[in-house]
């Protein structure tokens, strides 16, 4: 039973406020629930990249780069308040553009701003909305981007080691290029509760990725 976590522990900061971290915060993704489904990793680290991909070709890449240059940039020392503020602004933009929001779960979580409903159909149907709001979706810290951080895999390995030290029954997974792309739960079970995992992820992320090389 595989549950690959998004490369960026930080993205799901308010457990339920991103799912944008998150369509978008920590290594735990939100969305349709925390079953054993895959947790996608975009921009090298987070699920925050829920917008649809830019058209292929150089023009698409250029447009994407231009948009990224205008997006807010998170730092390793960004507070949860800062993250929540930016993610809420992104989700509010999606809501204003007509994207269906997961209001019931937001109410249950006591969140002021709901996040978008998850699913490929939603992403495709509301592609123009995701494209229009992408400029508001915060970029994860460069330390959490495997395309930018040459020490990413080693640091992610330390992140997983830290989580295991806190009771999580997990092991790291690699992509075809040998780069860390998440972790999966061991066959014996998770070892710790979701809340414990979320709290541990925040601590371990800073411990593993704040190290300067």
Per-residue pLDDT of 39-58, as tens digits, reads 333 233 333 333 333 333 34
Is 137 within the bounds of a domain? Answer: yes
DSSP conformation letters of 89-120: HHHHHHHHTT--B-HHHHHHHT-SS--BPPSH
Is 172 within the bounds of a domain? Answer: no
Is 16 within the bounds of a domain? Answer: yes
Looking at the structure of the chain, the number of domains it has is 1
Neighbouring C-beta atoms of residue 168, cutoff 10 Å: 21
What do you get for the CA distance between the two ends of the chain, in Å?
Answer: 35
Please name the residue that has the structure tokens 């997006």.
Answer: 71
Is 179 within the bounds of a domain? Answer: no
The predicted-structure confidence for 158-184, as pLDDT tens digits, reads as follows: 999 999 999 999 999 999 999 999 999
- How many angstroms separate the CA atoms of 119 and 152, rounded? 29
Is 91 within the bounds of a domain? Answer: yes
The predicted-structure confidence for 72-118, as pLDDT tens digits, reads as follows: 999 998 998 999 999 999 999 999 999 999 999 888 888 889 999 98
Give the domain range for residue 118. 11-24+48-142
For residue 173, give the H/E element and its range.
strand 170-174
Is 152 within the bounds of a domain? Answer: no
Is 107 within the bounds of a domain? Answer: yes
* Three-state DSSP state, 181: strand
- Mean predicted lDDT score pLDDT of the chain: 77
The predicted-structure confidence for 4-32, as pLDDT tens digits, reads as follows: 554 444 433 333 333 344 333 333 333 33
Is 112 within the bounds of a domain? Answer: yes
């Amino acid at each position: 039973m595989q549950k690959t976590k998004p490369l960026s522990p930080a993205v799901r900061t308010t457990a339920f406020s991103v799912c944008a971290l998150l369509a978008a915060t920590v290594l735990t993704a939100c969305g349709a629930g925390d079953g054993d489904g895959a947790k996608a990793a975009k921009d090298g680290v987070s699920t925050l990249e829920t917008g649809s991909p830019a058209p292929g070709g150089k023009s698409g890449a250029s447009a994407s780069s231009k948009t990224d240059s205008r997006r807010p940039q998170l730092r390793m020392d960004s507070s949860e308040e800062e993250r929540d503020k930016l993610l809420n602004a992104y989700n509010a933009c999606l809501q204003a553009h007509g994207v269906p929001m997961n209001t019931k779960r937001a109410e249950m979580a006591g969140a002021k701003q709901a996040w978008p409903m998850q699913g490929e159909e939603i992403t495709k149907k509301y592609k123009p909305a995701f494209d229009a709001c992408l400029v508001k979706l915060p970029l994860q810290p460069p330390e959490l981007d495997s395309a930018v951080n040459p020490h990413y895999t080693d640091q992610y390995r330390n992140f997983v080691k830290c989580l295991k030290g806190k009771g999580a029954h997990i092991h790291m997974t690699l992509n075809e290029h040998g780069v860390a792309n998440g972790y999966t739960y061991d066959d014996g079970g998770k070892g710790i509760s979701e809340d414990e995992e979320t709290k541990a992820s925040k601590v371990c992320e800073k411990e593993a990725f704040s190290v300067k090389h």
